[in-house]
Amino acid sequence: MRIFARHKSQRRRRSVFIAVLLAACGEEPFAVNGSPGRSLTVAVGQELDIILRTVGPGQYGSPPTISSSTIRFLDMTFVSPVPAGPTQRFRFKAEAAGQAIISFQHSESGTLVIDTVEVRATR
């Protein structure tokens, strides 16, 4: 099961809350795509997919910067090619309870996308 959450309207913000709540209930990957600056919650052992899109030249650097060992970077793949620019899927695995800040830097614009991930212990 994949759960996609977007952040452009209040309805979408509710979707994020629901997605985080549902993601906390299982071992399936948790996937998000949308605007930068998200705060996410996943369980230890769960995979997290973050999808970033670029309009124009360049791409987000891989591997991203991760502030702690609570999250482990697995890989990056290009998905859904569109004429406007690349779409990238970054995959992570939650290794231990705690907090990690994941930073993605764009190669052309220098844009920095920062996501905060809370990893909770499984019961």
- Per-residue pLDDT tens for 49-59? 999 999 889 99
Does pTM surpass 0.75?
no
Greater model confidence, 42 or 8 = 42
- What integer pLDDT is reported at residue 101 of this predicted model? 97
Residue 89: burial class (beta carbons within 10 Å; 0-12, 13-18, 19+): middle
Q: The domain 10-120: what is its CATH number?
A: 2.60.40.2020
Share of the chain above pLDDT 70, in %: 71
- Neighbouring-strand partners of residue 10: none
pLDDT at 2 over 90: no
The domains of the chain are located at: 10-120
Read out DSSP for 20-40? HHHHTTSSS-EEEESSS--EE
pLDDT of residue 79: 93
Residue 29: what pLDDT? 55
% of the chain exceeding 90 in pLDDT? 59
